[in-house]
Structure 1
Amino acid sequence: MFESFIKSCSKNIIGNENNIKLSLACIVCGGSILIEDFPGTGKTTFAKTITYNLGLDFKRIQFTSDLLPADILGYNFFKGDQNIFQKGPIFTNVVLADELNRGSAKSQSAFLEAMEEKNVTIDGETYKLPDPFFVIATQNPMDSSGTSMLPDSQIDRFMVSFSLTELSDNQKKEVLKNNFTFDENQILNINWNEIKNQKEKININENIYDYILNIESFINQLNKDIYISPRCLKQISELGKGWSLIHDRDYVSHQDIKDILPFIIRHRIRFLNEENEKINFIKNEILGKIEIPK
């Protein structure tokens, strides 16, 4: 089932098969995705392609300095003597928060409850968001003009982050020749309740949990600016299940944790800026120095 989805997405997303798999694993776990790269590298195309191939409703919010929370969540207004709630664009299955770090702190924080609780509160009234609900956010690198660093409370809610793979010359030619196409016959018709049940049946033994806790303990001993919250630990185990599910396995292995960990920890590292530096640090200075429990 997932193989056809990956092939279909790869027609429009050239040279990023691993990022497609990672995004799919994250989505089946109900997580949110942060894509960090320079303007014009295909972040929006990536998000649209994933969404279209899932056959879900999709809305895009362009973050700017003057965007207000009401522009995202919605607002109440009176029509005669009746109070009416006008839903904002966040009421959809997949929200593309484009250039999230160009928005004001107020507009960014408007996403917090939605991402975590899957509902929003307007004037004391709580409204449930559609099921399923996911956020795919893009942000420009911190040294780009007009950007501001996302707060830890926001960053911690993203399950994974990645940059799009740098393309070879041949892959760039493919991009130049390719026109964005979408085949409705390739839509992945997911029964989300069934997916949840399948994911929960995937086995994680005590040895894997010990390995995750060893990783947390090792990172804490490094004395580096890396924040590993209980939410982050839960995301590691959940994404491990999602990664196993899309690879058609019913158990999580140590290698699964090694495969996904760089993309979970990456956006929680504050003392490095370059993506390659972060990924190499995680692989060499963390995973490369932690023994697998016997």
Structure 2
Amino acid sequence: MDGKEFIEHLKAEIRKMVVGKEDAIELLTIALLTEGHVLLEGIPGVAKTTLANAFARAIGLSFSRIQLTPDLMPADILGTFYFDGGEWKFRKGPIFANVVLADEINRAQPKTQSALLEAMQERQVTIEGRTFELPRPFLVIATMNPLEHEGVYPLPEAQLDRFMLKVEMGYPPRDEEMEMLRRKSKGEFRDVEPILSREELVKVMEAVKGVNVGDEIIGYIHDILVATRNDERVLFGASPRAGEHLLYAAKARAFLDGRDYVVPDDVKGVAEAVLSHRIILKAEYELEGITVKDIVRDVLKETPVPV
């Protein structure tokens, strides 16, 4: 199947369990196909866990959920050695899954956060001098509650930069929430079935790598990065890693739109999700009510688009 057929089939399958959230599904798919990770921000009860579970099932991948708490230790995520029958054996932790939901990542203490983020970056874990490869594909979906500020450990900017995309999930529109309630009342939600095999998914990921990017698009991405760094309202702009992720995400978006080449609209379509958690505003502008999203939108509006 081509990219457009793939995403439509995926959305249709996930609809069996989740109402709406199509933008979030597309962004999760972009992260998966480019081997990135997602920071999912939203208040409790907006179907973050349900969406992650349904997404993993629909693409035929193993799924694990880690409820992060202040007393959680790195070994609780990565695994540990134990002595049994006269020899040391390794018990794998929940990180050994294709799709890992790290629920409320900012509730974990910094050393536990670091263990998780190291696994995300290296796609392996090292325990007692032994290295264990994580399964491929590997996607971490970390959730954060934007309303809570007590008893949490905010992620440092360097760790936030490891996430390819930040996806915000708010209250659903009226029609979607009413449809959800109707289906709950009638018991119409069903289990999700895989739409493709792991081998087929790997082929789709390879197809994304083959999407063409012209020098004009690469220059456009660089101009956007530089514009975030030169904006007088910004303390720290987008990093080179942000440019890399913007490039990969644009390629995946082009593929899901049925094309084998990137156009400026692909870059624009993913820019907010790629950049919004990487830019730090100056304090005085935050007090004025200016947001990072405002910065990204202004940059996209003012940066010349290649023809």
Letter in 1 for 2:191: F
Match of 1:65 among 70, 76, 86: 70
Question: What TM-score do you get using the length of structure 1 for normalisation?
Answer: 0.92
Note if contact 1:10-1:16 (Cα within 8 Å) is conserved in structure 2.
no
Letter in 1 for 2:292: K
Cα distance in 1 for residues equivalent to 2:242 and 2:254: 18
Cα distance in 2 for residues equivalent to 1:62 and 1:160: 21
Aligned partner of 2:11 in structure 1 is 6
Note if contact 1:142-1:149 (Cα within 8 Å) is conserved in structure 2.
no
For residues 21-45 of structure 1, give each alpha carbon's deviation from its aligned partner in whole angstroms, at most 9, with x where no partner exists.
Answer: 1111111111111111111222111
Cα distance in 2 for residues equivalent to 1:149 and 1:140: 11
* 1:225 match: secondary structure: strand
Cα distance in 2 for residues equivalent to 1:27 and 1:101: 22
Cα distance in 1 for residues equivalent to 2:16 and 2:231: 42
Cα distance in 2 for residues equivalent to 1:8 and 1:26: 19
* 1:126 match: secondary structure: strand
For residues 163-198 of structure 1, give each alpha carbon's deviation from its aligned partner in whole angstroms, at most 9, with x where no partner exists.
Answer: 1143222221112123442242x5343523312321
Match of 2:179 among 153, 159, 174: 174
* 2:274 match: secondary structure: helix
**CA 1:219–1:278 in structure 2 vs 1: closer, same or farther (change >3 Å)?**
closer
Letter in 2 for 1:3: E
Aligned partner of 2:36 in structure 1 is 31
Aligned partner of 1:268 in structure 2 is 278
* 2:143 match: secondary structure: strand
For residues 227-272 of structure 1, give each alpha carbon's deviation from its aligned partner in whole angstroms, at most 9, with x where no partner exists.
Answer: 4222211111111111111111100110100000000011123435
Cα distance in 1 for residues equivalent to 2:45 and 2:280: 25
Cα distance in 2 for residues equivalent to 1:288 and 1:167: 28
Moved more, 6-15 or 261-270: 6-15
Cα distance in 2 for residues equivalent to 1:83 and 1:21: 43
Q: Give 5+ residue unaligned stretches, structure 2.
A: 1-5
**CA 1:220–1:35 in structure 2 vs 1: closer, same or farther (change >3 Å)?**
same
Off by >6 Å, runs of 4+ in structure 1: none
Percent identity reads 36
Deviation at 1:226, TM superposition (A): 3.9
**CA 1:146–1:155 in structure 2 vs 1: closer, same or farther (change >3 Å)?**
same
Cα distance in 1 for residues equivalent to 2:290 and 2:75: 37
Cα distance in 1 for residues equivalent to 2:178 and 2:195: 26
Aligned length: 291
Question: What TM-score do you get using the length of structure 2 for normalisation?
Answer: 0.88
* 2:195 aligned with 1:187: yes
Q: Output aligned runs, 1:1-294, within 5 Å.
A: 1-141=6-146, 143-179=148-184, 180-184=189-193, 187-190=195-198, 191-223=200-232, 224-271=234-281, 277-283=291-297, 285-294=298-307
